Chain A
Amino acid sequence: MGKTLFEKVWNNHIVDKVEGGQEILFIDRHFIHEVTSPQAFDGIRKRGIGLYDKNRIVATADHNVPTKDQHLPIKDELSRLQVDMLTYNCKEFDIELYGLGHKNQGIVHVIGPELGITKPGMTIVCGDSHTSTHGAFGAVAFGIGTSQVEQVMASQCLLVQRPKTMRIIIDGELGKGIYSKDIILYIISKLSTSGGTGHFVEYAGSAIQSLSMEARMTICNMSIEMGARGGMIAPDETTFEYIKGRVYAPSGEQWKDAVNYWSTLYSDKDAVFNKEYVFKAEDIEPMITYGTNPGMGMGITQHIPTTQEVERPDNLLQSLNYMGFNPGESLLNTPIDHVFIGSCTNSRIDDLRIVADFVRGKKKADNVQAIIVPGSKQVEAQAKAEGLHDILFEAGFELRGPGCSACLGMNEDKIPKMEYCVSTSNRNYEGRQGPGARTLLVSPLTAAVIAVKGKVVDPRKYLNQETFV
């Protein structure tokens, strides 16, 4: 029987099998950041053991950093302490750190790929659930807890139960104004927030193959939002083209060997998946969430389900009560207070280009505060070089320094209580963007159109003549 892409990569990293079916999985790259690493470093010290291999760890500060005045000392004392602690720990253990102000600093899932650290066939972990992003390159990448961060530091391995496999096929062609964010929000709305639990997902089909690497990252990024352990896409020419020439990409003879190996990473024709779903790209509209988990999404022209249409009306009502919406209503024309463009889901250069292309020569609505937080220093520099910063600034967007920012509201970038934020991030949980904040998840284009119109609208009605694709 043939093997799935997941099995090929996973099997290549098995050190041993142990009691109870757990496996010892070798980890190629370990990304760390300031929030989920300090207790792991403490553990290593207490045990009196060192790191297994410091060269397999890369650190950056992203979750907790301010996005304004990044050159100044961090004002919030606890945040500063946490970021300083990362610097201190990386110094003590001699780990490569892209700290605040470094030209490579940024959201961990943005910098890994852009530096060429992320490559097909790798196992990649990080104390962050959106590590699944790196699966876009055909890597087995997943989020772990801090105890596991410590495990990997100590042994370069994880003791894990092999997940089941799932394939989600999207065939066909996306309509105009519809992006990969809409694909993944559509999938999650169909499978629910727990539909992928226990599984590792492979995304396939013609609609997936036609996507750029950045668009693929958006899809894999949100795999965790349906409960999946991770998501991946078979590497192809698009993948190789993206990696080529990046800082940590192989070159010369090594490049040829690497591409030869990477080209073997696909699911064999007779490979069997534990679960399989097929969707049509033509059925996907621009998506928006109306509730308090990422599974509560719908096409932007649809209506919120009625209590008769759901299994648990009490859960729906609790969610809608928080959001200030009613069952059965449409969200079109709902006034919006904030637009946030950023996060490891949608803060890459393509995302900024899509937004800038739409808002060029326009102004954001007066009732909207719009902020753009690039995913990394490199994205920020590229946006400046292309003149996107000027376009966005003139349209009334506030441009910030890189970091996780209002996606999780750990720093001061919080959405005030009961205010509506249309966001390109990944989670709309209660209080995610600040206590009482109400989040509506959308694609960067939809966010840009809503920022200009000041209310929820169908972006397809306002597309420019020559929209950037």
Chain B
Amino acid sequence: MEKFSKLLSSAIPLIQENVDTDQIIPARFLKATSREGFGEHLFKDWRFDEYGEPKSNFILNDSEYSGSILVAGENFGCGSSREHAAWALVDYGFRAVISSYFADIFKGNALNNGLLPVQVSSNTLRELLAVVQLDPMTLLEIDLEAQLLRVNKIGIQEHFEINTYKKTCLLNGYDDIDFLMSQIDKVSAFERKYIEF
């Protein structure tokens, strides 16, 4: 997993709420057996029409907007547990998603792939969406060590929560399996005492 410490980038505003993982990557593109290449199909049916032509009204097709941060409406990533959604966002080039609410499974999948979910208040989200829409060059700064989101242009400095263990993993590029393998003796000890019916 790639390390994450600080990120300074412009952002892409996706105002839709309740964006589900079927939109992030439709099921018909889940047939691959590796983790790579899913970015091509990110938001497929919002990005492209049935002939494969880009839809001009979708934000990822608007060349004014770019950056490695996605600012998305409330309850991002609901629905299917497909980790392909996180893979697709990372493969496309995103390193962080900011929203006022994340679905549980998506949040876990994002963290396991070096994609930082930054949860902010509804008010901050509204302000962020507005400023980024108005000025696509607005820079957002995410400091994981300090757990801070800064947008100097509008004077926002907001603290965000992250599990301390997950934070250590991201800062160092470790993953859960490295950790669990170091605890495997405890698992065996547990199992010896465990009664299963």
Binds B, one of A106-114, A154-162, A206-214: A154-162
In the complex, B93 has a CB within 8 A of chain A: no
Chain B residues with Cβ below 8 Å from A302 are none
A426 to chain B, nearest CB (A): 9
A340 to chain B, nearest CB (A): 15
Q: What string of 1s and 0s marks CB contacts (under 8 Å) between B159-197 and chain A?
A: 000011111100000011101110110110011001011
Q: Is A22 in contact with B81, judged by CB distance below 8 angstroms?
A: no
Q: Is B31 in contact with A410, judged by CB distance below 8 angstroms?
A: yes
Within 8 A of B (CB), among A235-261: 250, 254, 257-258, 261
- Picked from A147, A151, A293, the residue with its CB within 8 Å of the CB of B18 is A293
Q: Is B163 in contact with A155, judged by CB distance below 8 angstroms?
A: no
A28 to B165, CA, bound (A): 25
How many interface residues does A have (CB within 8 Å)? 80
Q: Is B186 in contact with A24, judged by CB distance below 8 angstroms?
A: yes
A319 to chain B, nearest CB (A): 9
- Picked from A21, A148, A155, the residue with its CB within 8 Å of the CB of B108 is A148
In the complex, A358 has a CB within 8 A of chain B: no
Q: Is A315 in contact with B28, judged by CB distance below 8 angstroms?
A: no
B39 to chain A, nearest CB (A): 15
Q: Is A431 in contact with B26, judged by CB distance below 8 angstroms?
A: yes
In the complex, A202 has a CB within 8 A of chain B: no
- Picked from B16, B30, B163, B197, the residue with its CB within 8 Å of the CB of A21 is B163
Chain B residues with Cβ below 8 Å from A438 are none
Q: How many of chain B's residues touch chain A, expressed as a range? A: 35 or more
Binds B, one of A38-46, A281-289, A366-374, A451-459: A38-46
Closest B residue by C-beta to A417:
B50
Chain A residues with Cβ below 8 Å from B105 are 129, 143-145, 224
Within 8 A of B (CB), among A8-46: 15-16, 18-22, 24, 26, 28, 35-36, 38-39, 42-43
Q: Is A293 in contact with B180, judged by CB distance below 8 angstroms?
A: no
- Picked from B26, B104, B180, the residue with its CB within 8 Å of the CB of A155 is B180
B37 to chain A, nearest CB (A): 12
List, sorted by A's number, 22 A–B pairs whose CB atoms are closer than 8 Å.
A20-B163, A20-B166, A24-B183, A26-B194, A28-B196, A35-B30, A82-B31, A121-B197, A144-B81, A144-B108, A145-B86, A146-B109, A147-B176, A154-B181, A193-B75, A194-B103, A254-B197, A293-B78, A295-B18, A408-B22, A410-B31, A436-B50
Known: A143-B105, A151-B176, A229-B104. 11 other contacts (CB 8 A): A15-B183, A35-B30, A85-B33, A155-B181, A163-B104, A262-B197, A293-B20, A315-B18, A410-B30, A410-B31, A431-B23
